Structure 1
Amino acid sequence: MNLQARLDTLKDRHANLEARLASEDRRPAPDSETLTTLKREKLRLKEEMARLSGSAH
């Protein structure tokens, strides 16, 4: 997989996590453990995207 394809995949996964976070947060009683897990994964993806973007230049 080339670098751009990997970044695109990570961006898609990041957007999916953002949607899942928003959905969970709108629930009448959001699960704080689920929110924390989703936020951690989203941050991990963001850091990997930044790392890969930095290595592309």
Structure 2
Amino acid sequence: MSKVYDVNRIINIAKDTNEFCCFFCEYIKRKDVNVNMALDVLRISSIYLNRYSFQIEEEY
């Protein structure tokens, strides 16, 4: 199975945090989605919208 992502759709959904949360919760429930694919979607949304969070291990 090839990994194909609609980057524009992910970015548009990620602009609204609540909408992205609902989308992502449903996305990870799909049988054809594995952990790496789910992490890729998170990376895409954070790269394009500059929403990286940095925490040191103690804060986590």
The structure that has the greater radius of gyration is 1
In which range does the TM-score fall when normalised by the shorter chain?
0.3 to 0.5
TM-score, normalising length: structure 2:
0.36
Q: Which has the higher contact order (CA 8 A, sep 6+)?
A: 1
Greater helix proportion: 1
TM-score, normalising length: structure 1:
0.37
